[in-house]
Structure 1
Amino acid sequence: MSNHSKRKEEHLALAKKYFAIKENDFDRIELVRPALPESCVSPATIACEILGKKVKAPFYINAMTGGSEKSKEINRAIGKASRIGQIPFATGSSSILAKEKDQLASFYAAREENPDGLFFANVNPNTPASIAKNIVKELNADALQIHINTVQELAMPEGDRDFVWLDKLKAIRDEVDIPVIIKEVGFGFDKSSIDLLQKNDFHLIDLGGAGGTNFAQIENGRSSHPLPYLDELGLSTVKSALIAQDSGIDFFASGGIRNALDILKCLVLGAKSVGIANLFLQVYENGGEDGLVETVLRFEDELAGLFALFGINKVNEATKVKYALTKGLWKEFIQIAVDD
């Protein structure tokens, strides 16, 4: 096993070790529910179109893994669950394929299980544009996530120390002919970075906010010289969503999603879709692919129920739901965060 594949395996083990369903900023949003919604529970209300493809629900299985034998089976289960649930899906970073082409099967397993679904490939910004283009072709991807993960890299013993990435992002975008999603990995987006992306013609981000998997913590768990203060960095998914909302950029929301109500809150804040990763990973670890399929279908049923409770008849109506920010999500913070 290569060092890169070994790192992938360590990430999976530590993601399980540190996983916890815990309080986060989603608990600080109170939605105003109509007592008389005049609605019925229907799966049709949560169906929508994402990046030109029809899907059954506005959430997706987000990037987790690939590049090792264990991750091949996880990706196969992800593909099956996304096919049965008719939702988008992503694999983890496939940048390993630049040097280890024999790991292609560990990623393609997901696409094999769901050949017609909406699929996101994933690379890091240092992936040569030509390699990224080839990965997109090999995996038959509908969109490409480019993950930006400076905090993780600094915590990673063998991580990058050069974070001059903008031109590399542009080079990859200009080389591929599918939508590009700039994705954080658990530390969220600030206003200035969103503005910089918009000025350079990037118009879709995945917030990847704090509140769920903490990759600084995971890398510190691998390091003989950990930097534990990095664990505390990052903007929550909710704070990032409020900042993105103010910026007017299209965004997917991910990071710390625990249940269907959190999905709804993301949609209320303006997310086009909602990504879930580690929660689904742990469901798979404990219940196998059948457990993963059951959870995806249950989330769809529960979200349709919540839509009925709030009188929402289609996904883009969710932003009409009124809400209050409580217990720490004070307006002063948001004002500071969005001021130029």
Structure 2
Amino acid sequence: MFFNAQKTNSFDQVHLLRPALPESQVNLNAVKTTWFGKELAAPFFINAMTGGSEKSRQINRQLGEIANKQQIALALGSASILTKEEDQLESFYVAREANPDGLLFANVNPLTPAKAADKIVKDLQADALQIHLNVAQEIPMPEGDRDFVWLDRMLEIKEAAGVPVIVKEVGSGLDPVSLQKLQAAGFSWFDIGGAGGTNFAQIENSRNPHPMAYLNDCGLPTALAALLAAPLTKQLIVSGGVRNPLDVFKGLALGGKFVGVANHFLHTLLNEGPDGLDEEIGRWKEELAYLFALYGQSCLPVKQSYYLDLELKNQFDQLKQYAGK
């Protein structure tokens, strides 16, 4: 209802300038990379989805097995539930059991006590920790949080965690003003989580007896959020509505060091099973290598010329002052 793999989004307003003479070869090694000291077969990864139920346990095990086989990073869904329901730990830990040596991220909300966040990281043997920002989801959620004084609590989590911390928006886009505030506080990795994929405000409005439907379009589109963030940080993750390897390539061209994919992979897993998702991720790696060759790229990072549709360019021109440009 809220996801369509073929729907348009801001990636469609970004166009790549293709060299007719790329002087290149298809090479799967071109898309290999490292992150937090671990080797990966591709710069895209399975982003945070789910955890904390029997169904989630099955999904996380399958995702762990696929991430292990395909040698890509995996971010688990929010584990903040473990502060209240410790018996749900297994629904997350199965991913680490299935992928003992792979790159695995834990995920918590900003209100998670620092000691609890540290315990979650240790219990899951996570290599890094995502702290997710989801105000636009919480507001229309009938039982949602109403306290968004987060920064000091996030700093406490960062100090306690003992692993790299990624600040991740959840489908509404990380704006440049907030990114700079987070940078000034000492955070360095950012996942822009832009609008264009799953609309969490819309999901929560669908179950709200008094829906705030006017919030359904409050998000910052992914491509626009990337354009605004790229001048500010080299440690950028682009996510939000990634549908295919071309979107991955565009995310890298816009300044992303890595590209996160959540709902498309979950949709594939639920509809085609683990074998279907495994095959699809394998195809994505191969097709991303094709795109590197098509556009004359021989390695990461991607240095690719592009131009923008007028709508996206106008939006960027209006907002780029907030990115210090």
Q: TM-score, normalised by structure 2?
A: 0.97
Identity of aligned residues (%): 53
Tell me which of 194, 218, 228 is aligned to 1:243: 228
Distance in 1, Cα, partners of 2:92 & 2:141: 23
Of 207-216 and 242-251, deviating more is 242-251
Q: When the two structures are aligned, how many residues end up with a matched partner?
A: 321
Question: What per-residue deviation string (whole Å, max 9, x for no partner) do you get for residues 89-139 of structure 1?
Answer: 011000000010000011111111101000010000000000000000000
Task: Report how far residue 249 of structure 1 moved.
Answer: 4.9
- Is structure 2 residue 315 aligned with structure 1 residue 333? yes
Tell me which of 273, 295, 305 is aligned to 1:288: 273
Distance in 2, Cα, partners of 1:323 & 1:334: 14
Counterpart AA for 1:40: Q
Distance in 1, Cα, partners of 2:253 & 2:173: 18
Tell me which of 82, 97, 104 is aligned to 1:112: 97
The structure with the largest helix share of the pair is 1
What residue in structure 1 maps to residue 28 of structure 2?
A: 43
Distance in 2, Cα, partners of 1:335 & 1:308: 31
Of 56-65 and 43-52, deviating more is 43-52
On the 8 A contact 1:206/1:251 being kept in 2, the answer is: yes
Distance in 1, Cα, partners of 2:317 & 2:165: 29
Question: What per-residue deviation string (whole Å, max 9, x for no partner) do you get for residues 181-226 of structure 1?
Answer: 0000000011110110111011111110000001001111222221
Task: Report how far residue 146 of structure 1 moved.
Answer: 0.3
Tell me which of 200, 217, 224 is aligned to 1:232: 217
Could you tell me which runs of 5 or more consecutive residues in structure 2 were left unpaired when the two chains were aligned: none
Distance in 1, Cα, partners of 2:18 & 2:316: 24
- Is structure 2 residue 113 aligned with structure 1 residue 131? no
Structure 1 248/335 Cα, relative in aligned 2: closer, same or farther at 3 Å?
farther
On the 8 A contact 2:53/2:91 being kept in 1, the answer is: yes
Distance in 2, Cα, partners of 1:248 & 1:121: 22
Distance in 2, Cα, partners of 1:77 & 1:126: 29
Distance in 1, Cα, partners of 2:17 & 2:94: 43
Tell me which of 303, 307, 314 is aligned to 1:324: 307
Distance in 1, Cα, partners of 2:261 & 2:123: 24
Distance in 1, Cα, partners of 2:191 & 2:261: 11
On the 8 A contact 2:234/2:255 being kept in 1, the answer is: no
Task: Report how far residue 336 of structure 1 moved.
Answer: 2.7
Question: What per-residue deviation string (whole Å, max 9, x for no partner) do you get for residues 240-262 of structure 1?
Answer: 10010122352101000010000
Task: Report how far residue 324 of structure 1 moved.
Answer: 0.3
Question: What per-residue deviation string (whole Å, max 9, x for no partner) do you get for residues 148-170 of structure 1?
Answer: 10010001100011111000110
Aligned partner of residue 44 in structure 1, secondary structure: helix
What residue in structure 2 maps to residue 25 of structure 1?
A: 10
Counterpart AA for 2:79: S
Counterpart AA for 1:313: S
Could you tell me which runs of 5 or more consecutive residues in structure 1 were left unpaired when the two chains were aligned: 1-16
Distance in 1, Cα, partners of 2:127 & 2:156: 18
Runs of at least 4 residues off by over 2 Å: none
Distance in 2, Cα, partners of 1:233 & 1:333: 14
Distance in 1, Cα, partners of 2:37 & 2:25: 27
Q: 1:78-227 counterparts in 2 under 5 A?
A: 78-227=63-212
Distance in 2, Cα, partners of 1:328 & 1:128: 42
On the 8 A contact 2:234/2:257 being kept in 1, the answer is: no
Task: Report how far residue 327 of structure 1 moved.
Answer: 4.1
Aligned partner of residue 315 in structure 1, secondary structure: coil
Question: What per-residue deviation string (whole Å, max 9, x for no partner) do you get for residues 51-107 of structure 1?
Answer: 221100000000000001111111111101111110000110000000100000111
Q: TM-score, normalised by structure 1?
A: 0.93
